Structure 1
Amino acid sequence: MDQGVIENLKRLYRKQLLRHLLLSGDKSVQSIIDVYSKTTLKDCCYMIAESWSSVRQSTLRSSWNNILARRELSATSGASDPGEVVEEVLFNLNTLSLSGECQKADIEAWLACDSGNPGFQMLDDDEIAESVLNLEDEMDEDFGIQEAQVACPHERAFRCLEVALERLEWQEECHPVKLLNLKSILDLAAKKRTASLKQTTITEFFKEK
């Protein structure tokens, strides 16, 4: 992927991360630290997906133009303005009275803290073999943890989604497309709930698997 697009995505991701920390707890510093320590890989996946959806089409178009040699455009043209992101982050901190001694230069340094990182690590053969073996061990451990976890009951999932949809319908900033997406998830939960409540007949036990 073009480095300009990657840099833009990283900047948007950090903004999403800060937004996640500020909205998930109260205004205390300790609360934000607690939320950060409990942030899971799944939370990060959601944030990176939302960040990717915020990348402007002009940014992606410019990177493709460079690849296809149609015209000489910088991959950063059309990208979100770094100054705009900095101002937005600083505004959010000031709104919650959390800026403290944090200055504009501190935010700029944080957003660009790994600008020199190519995004990958150079490994020799031994290091590659070791990383693969460690990955297999981690996958085995994760599989055991997943087996021990109990899934959320279908009835509870349906009720929670129902309340969430009812709540969001009254929010002016909620886009209709998002409501439709949530409604489709609610319908799926309703089907699973109905299937779980369906009584198993005696013939079901004799069906070939």
Structure 2
Amino acid sequence: MHGEKKDADEGAATQWKESTLPTFLPSYHPDDIYNADETGIYFRALPDGTLTFKTDNSGGSKKSKERVTVLVCTNMTGTDKRKLLVIGKSKDPRCFRGVKSLPVTYTNSGNAWMTAEIFQNWLRDFNRDMARQKRKILLFVDNCSAHPKGSADRLANIKMEFLPPNTTSIIQPCDQGIIRNLKFYYRSEVIRRIIGNIDNTEMTANELARKLTLLDAVHLLRRAWRCVKESTVTSSYRTAEFVAPEQQEHCEDEDEDVPPVPSGLDAESFSTFVSHDDDLPCFASRSDEEICAEIRETAADVDSEDEDDFTPLELPVSATEARAAIETLRKFLGQKQSDDFDQLYELEDTCERLIDTSRKQTKITEFINWIP
């Protein structure tokens, strides 16, 4: 799990890197070496006291406790950043109703934690994809209750190895900058979204943050994940000393990706904000009393994303509305002297293809219903 380094066993980490890791790296191409790790995210959180626009007058705001767990997985070269697995609390979030496709894989558990069942399902899907690609890969994960030993024993295309206990904050690649980068971009997107809407409403920043739905969050997470560069991934693997000798010279020439801090925020405060939920539990590793206390606290939180009472169900978007939106974007680009029309044309082609498919399905349904 993504977290602190202060209690890490540096001796065990060094021994593993020197004696065990070198036995694995030569047997696999860097494209086929993966690391997967979970992190918790308070997806509606805002930084404390740093937003100077339309903040609440109450002298403070309630800490947002709406959380998800995100499983991040990427290979050593950053060429295969796997689709994010997002775990929420609700099986059927209100904001998902009517939605037929998501930019992430979504599932749920009682505390929005990773469980052994969820992990094994994800692992089997991963194995099927590798089988389709005719690839055999090596997957490193941390040693926790949600990653049962033997999970990959019957999987032909994935060999799973566990990192030593109490060392992952030092030697797990995802903990060396990949997850932090993801959170940096995600929180930048949340703030950008709020700043973009603040002048068009009487709502405060905190009120706008509370309107952020789980559906909004998974789209922003996907957008943030796309922003994480291959150079960030290779740099993180290099920091964890997972780099094969033939890759060392290439990686040393790469510059670390440092995303810009959102306008109006100082770097130190934003850095603290990005990492404020790094130690959020992602699986059951505490006492029963602590787990029950969190469940009670979560149940009492009126802002739970399971509720979404303030989010009305959206009506389906018609073909006419979709085409009008494309036309609005075309005008916007033209007025801004932009030459990014090709991307708009690709989006327009996608919309027309979906409209045509929907029309054909409707005609087939009508024909079947007409048959006496």
Q: Which band: TM-score by shorter chain?
A: 0.5 to 0.7
The answer to whether structure 1 residue 112 and structure 2 residue 287 are counterparts is: no
Aligned with residue 167 of structure 1, among 332, 335, 343: 332
Is the Cα contact below 8 Å between 2:190 and 2:220 reproduced in 1?
yes
- Report the count of equivalent residues: 175
Whole-Å Cα distance in 2 between the matches of residues 202 and 58 of structure 1?
54
Greater per-residue helix proportion: 1
Q: Distance in 1 between matches of 2:241 and 2:341?
A: 36
Q: Does 1:70 align with 2:253?
A: no
Secondary structure of the residue aligned to 2:260 is: helix
Contact 2:333 2:341 in 1 (8 A): no
> Relative CO higher for 1 or 2, CA cutoff 8 Å, sep ≥ 6?
2
Q: Do 1:165 and 1:183's aligned partners in 2 also have CA atoms closer than 8 Å? A: no
- Unaligned runs of 5+ residues in structure 1 are 94-101, 135-140, 143-147
Answering whether residue 206 of structure 2 is matched by residue 33 of structure 1, we say: yes
Choose which of 85, 88, 91 in structure 1 pairs with 2:260.
Answer: 85
The letter of the residue matching 2:324 is R
Cα distance change of structure 1 residues 44 and 125 upon mapping to structure 2, 3 Å threshold: same
- 2:193 is equivalent to residue 20 of structure 1: yes
Counterpart CA distance in 1 for 2:318 and 2:286 is: 47
Write the letter of the residue equivalent to 2:268. Answer: A
Amino acid at match of 1:43: D
Taking the aligned partners of 1:13 and 1:103, their CA distance within structure 2 comes to 17
CA distance in 1: counterparts of 2:213 and 2:339, whole angstroms: 25
Is the deviation greater in 45-54 or in 172-181?
172-181
Q: For residues 149 and 28 of structure 1, what CA distance do their matches in structure 2 show?
A: 20
Aligned CA distance change for structure 1 residues 6 and 78 (closer, same or farther; 3 Å): farther
Tell whether the 8 Å contact from 1:59 to 1:79 is kept in structure 2 after alignment: yes
Q: Shift in Å at residue 203 of structure 1?
A: 7.4
Counterpart contact for 2:231–2:257, Cα < 8 Å: no
Contact kept? 1:21, 1:36, Cα under 8 Å: yes
Report the Cα distance in structure 2 between the residues aligned to 1:18 and 1:112, rounded to whole angstroms. 15
Shift of 1:29: 8.4
Structure 1 residues 155 and 44: alpha-carbon distance in aligned structure 2, compared to 1, 3 A threshold: same
TM-score, normalisation: structure 1: 0.60
1:1-209 to 2 correspondence within 5 Å?
A: 1=37, 2-4=174-176, 5-26=178-199, 30-63=203-236, 69-71=243-245, 78-81=255-258, 85-86=260-261, 89=262, 92-93=263-264, 103-115=266-278, 117=279, 120-123=282-285, 150-173=315-338, 175-188=340-353, 190-191=355-356, 205-206=370-371
Q: CA contact under 8 A between 1:154 and 1:192: conserved in structure 2?
A: no
Structure 2: state its 5+ residue gaps: 1-36, 38-173, 300-305, 308-312
CA distance in 2, matches of 1:12, 1:195: 39
| Whole-angstrom distance in 2 between the partners of 1:107 and 1:63 | 21
Distance, in Å, in 1 between the alignment partners of 2:179 and 2:220 is 15
User: CA offset at residue 204 of structure 1?
Assistant: 5.5
| Other structure's SS at 1:21 match | helix
Higher strand share: 2
| Length-normalised TM-score, structure 2 | 0.37
What residue identity is the alignment partner of 1:70? Answer: A
Q: Secondary structure at the match of 1:120?
A: coil
